[in-house]
Chains A and B, each alone.
Chain A
Amino acid sequence: MLKRKLIILGLIAIFAAPLHAEVNIDGFLQGLYGARLEEDNPTATEMPASETRLQLRAEHFGNSAEFFGRLDFVYDAADTAQYEWELREGYLKFRLGQYFDFKIGRQVLTWGTGDLVFINDVFAKDYRSFFVGRDDQYLKAPQNALRMAFYPGFGNLNFVWTPRFEPNRLPTGRKLSYYNPFVGRIVGEGYYFDPATPEAKFENGEFALRYQQQIGMMNAALYFYKGFYKNPTGAVTTPDGPMAIYPHLDVYGASVRGSILGGILWLEGGYFDSRDDKDGDNPMMPNSSMMGLFGYERQVATNLTANIQWQADAIMDYDKYEAGQTGMGAYVRDEVRHLLTSRITKLLNQELVTLSGFVFYSPTDEDMYVRASVEYKYTDQLILALGGNFFEGNNQATDFGQFDLNDNVYLKATYGF
């Protein structure tokens, strides 16, 4: 009885809140429709995207704290559960004393210097969204976390604790097919299951740390992460056969970024310490690796911006890794994997039209992924977009090669309010 009264009181409070002039509510309604270009794609549905999305945002500023919520309601005709909702963000923010800022709750986290390429940003990504034409903001999956930032006056220290491990969201075979190493080929929905996440224990939480400082024109940062690989890159043997798991991972890294030669330059590096396979001799677990990234961006002409990135990823104990790849049709990657990317953005017609292209190309994996879009701001409220995702690969097992059959084009209309 008391519980019911509390619920009613709570509901009254929630709906009365907008009556206070200080609660701002806005958001958008969006329709996204995609079509696949490959007939023989084994996905469960022929629609990479077919959804209507309502995003509501609410914020309230108190005297010493503030609240922000971002709630998505989705009708998805291409999914099994047609109605879906997700709290994308729901956090409170406040300052303690002069030096500490807190952000607690469901939030999107980003750091590091790369453009759609991540080393020290070991926060959850959503590739189910990224490959089908959803807005860029959906590449980041939210995490339930506590973030503390310390600003002592000379640099700043950020600490993020995610009590429950939050994995990346990877294609399931329903809308996008993928390479299944246990089956040895590109598969549709039938083979997908959510890998078991680490048990909800304190030591299985994720800890991320960043120290950042401005040095002249350069912004330098040091990073540390303790948690798990965000993709299920490891496996354990069970009576039912091999089972994918998220292996333990520590990352140590650093970056610098700043203005130079009329553009922005960034360098980032990180060491991925695979704690479940320190010596690299367990073929069921990933080997440790060293990653490096170089990037440069500049405005090459009026309203035309371009960037290039080069990422190298060197696997440790390569001999042992190579010796372990004995399975039928196992893909043996190169010791050093190179990835080149480039983004080109052109604004036209008073910035109402945006032409955008992004290319990922790996000469060592011999695969490629191209994102292209045209966006037109018809009015301040209505934005129309047309885009495509194109994959190419010589081998089904590589990062982009596995999505080879998922080429798609999409149409998107957004009404903001």
Chain B
Amino acid sequence: MKQKVFHLAIGMTVLALVILLAGVAAAQDANEIMKKSHMAYYYAGDDGVVEVNMRLIKGDKERNREFTMLRVDLEEGGNQKYYTYFKKPSDVSRMTFMVFKQSDGNDSRWIYVPAVDLVKPISADDKNSSFVGSDFTYEDVSGRHWNEDTHTLVNGKGDLGGKPVFIIESVPKDNGYKGFAKRVSYIDKSNYLPLKEEYYNDKGELIRIFTADKIEDIEGIQTVTVRSIENVKKGTRTVVEFSNIDYNVGLGEDIFTERYLKTPPRQYIK
């Protein structure tokens, strides 16, 4: 009898350990998947040049933003620099905008207004504010570090429109974070690109949906060329289309300085 209890105790301990370890492994898996996804989505190549067309849709009204975006990665998964040259609409044309994305979260932003020859740093406190009035936030554009959330693999054998996906639930580690309370991501198993993301608020209501609408092979890199975000609560939708994508063009870090903020590098921006 005593032995039986002893065996049972050992058995249960082993079982508990297995469950615990499996849990840790799953968590690690989820973290690893989100890291890979982040790299595939935000760090394609060492640098990139892209023409962006944004359509801001509300009801039957549509607005357009056109700009060229340059990006250089200073370290894979770490610091990045972004340069944006606005073409349309007319009231923002020729304005340039620069972001130094720091992996510690202290981003810096500058804007140049050519009509008054003014270079101005912008206080970049709120990453959840809208990017040029669209449904994309600054964080959507340059990425939220995977370390900022706790990830759980909900389903390792998911399926989205016939594509095998990992379904991962992410909860912000910072309780004060306002962007979302929970995010469910559908990550393509073949290339780790996020195919869909659902954002929920603290009441458990669905607030925003991200979808990768078109994925193409660009210079051997699987790239989301059409993406959209629907703001369920506001009834607005933004569709972003990438074109003329070029990776590994050899962008120098000197392009991401005030000199080029004032005089755009014309070999990339016409």
Contacts and interface: CB of A to CB of B under 8 A. Distances in A.
Interface of A: 22, 26-28, 61, 66, 70, 93, 95, 101, 107-110, 136-137, 139-140, 149, 151, 156, 212, 217, 219, 257-259, 262-264, 297-299, 302-303, 305, 347, 350-352, 377, 379-381, 383, 414, 416-417
Contacts of A297: 123
B263 A299 contact: no
A108 B91 contact: no
9 contacts: A28-B91, A136-B116, A151-B259, A219-B121, A259-B123, A297-B123, A299-B129, A305-B123, A350-B56
Nearest to A266: B121
Interface of B: 56, 58, 61, 63-64, 88-91, 93, 106, 108, 113, 115-118, 121-126, 128-130, 132-134, 234, 236, 258-259, 263, 266, 270
A262 B236 contact: no
A259 B121 contact: yes
A347 B132 CA distance: 11
B125 A299 contact: yes
Given A264-B121, A298-B123, 20 more contacts: A26-B90, A26-B93, A28-B91, A66-B263, A66-B266, A95-B263, A108-B116, A109-B117, A136-B116, A140-B117, A298-B125, A302-B126, A350-B58, A377-B91, A379-B63, A380-B88, A380-B89, A381-B89, A383-B91, A416-B90
B122 A352 contact: no
A414 B91 contact: yes
A416 B133 contact: no
A262 B123 CA distance: 7
A217 B108 CA distance: 9
Contacts of B118: 110
In terms of DSSP, what is the predominant structure of the interface of chain A?
strand
B258 A156 contact: yes
Nearest to B130: A351
A416 B89 CA distance: 8
A259 B117 contact: no
A212 B119 CA distance: 13
Contacts of A93: 263
8 A-B pairs closest in CB distance? A416-B90, A351-B133, A137-B115, A380-B89, A110-B117, A263-B123, A262-B125, A298-B123
B110 to A, nearest CB: 10
